[in-house]
Amino acid sequence: MKILGNEIKPGMIIEHKNDLWSVLKAQHVKPGKGGAFNQVELKSVKKGTKLNERFRSSDSVEKAILDDKKFSFLYEDGSNCHFMNQTDFEQIQISKSLLGEKSKLLKENMEVNVLFHNEQALSVDLPSSVELKIETTDAAIKGQTASSSYKPATLENGIKIMVPPFINADDKIVLDTRTMEYIKKWPPERWYMAFYGMLHILSQRDFNFIEGEMDRVYKLNR
């Protein structure tokens, strides 16, 4: 599908210079001299490299036609991950290199979205968060606060992340699969461990989450 240069918008996937590019930013610029143009920041879907281009309204590019399908993770063998289409039960294999470290987050029957272009898998989107167990982490140091000092931890799948000081080995935490960062500890009944009998400053994200959960529990018990 052909579109004009001034129609390129963030979130689109376009074909350009024999590659597929994700549009990260697009800004219409009208200089003092010369014609207006669309300043576009692109990221290669396959290679991950970035490119800044100027497209004038007279330029045309091909907007990629993509197909998004739901699959369930089956198993991995060596360098590939195997998935099954939830609609027609077709099985496919995708190289671990496409997922990178996120391949370690896959669990049997996990639902994922696979993005295709001309029958070729471009990306695999996992659920936005997963629950994992802390395999090892250092003991908390007295006086540390959740917001001022995170400590390294290794998850059950070998991935290394940073966690608040009150997290211990064998605890279960929720991981953001997009940023590969700790979100929160689970379950809520163990949140008291974050305070260690002293007042500390929470990050805004943790505060908002805890405030929302406390308000929800209060309303249920009224």
Q: What are the chain's domains? A: 2-63 (2.30.30.30), 67-125 (2.40.50.140), 129-216 (2.40.50.140)
CB 144 within 8 A of CB 125: no
pLDDT at 144: 57
| Helix%, strand%, coil% for the chain, nearest 5 | 15, 45, 40
Separation CA 162–CA 175 (nearest Å): 11
pLDDT at 149: 77
Handedness of CA 207, 209, 212, 217 (dihedral sign): negative
pLDDT at 105: 96
Separation CA 53–CA 41 (nearest Å): 7
Residue 8: is it exposed, middle or buried by C-beta count within 10 angstroms (0-12/13-18/19+)? buried
Q: How many C-beta neighbours within 10 Å does residue 77 have?
A: 9
Residue type at position 216: R
Give every residue of the chain whose pLDDT is below 50, as ranges: 195-200
pLDDT at 166: 83
Separation CA 160–CA 89 (nearest Å): 34
Whether this prediction's pTM lies above 0.75 is answered by no
